[in-house]
Amino acid sequence: MKILLNLLKKRFDDELIEILLKVKWWDFGPEKLVEFLPLLYDPDLKKYLNNK
């Protein structure tokens, strides 16, 4: 069985994706992750991450 997928839309632009990869959010502990997740909906996420 072969499944073809097409990317419809990126949630974040390429610059923000690069920042998120550098932050390595998947290594956060549970407390830090709970604190970080609401920021993903913040329009100023890029500004916040650039200050870290």
Give pTM, 2 decimals. Answer: 0.58
Residue 3 DSSP class: -
What single string gives the DSSP state of each residue in 13-52?
A: -HHHHHHHHHHTGGG--HHHHHHHGGGGG-TTHHHHHHT-
At residue 20, the pLDDT reads: 85
Residue 11 DSSP class: S
Q: Which whole number is the average pLDDT over 23-32?
A: 91
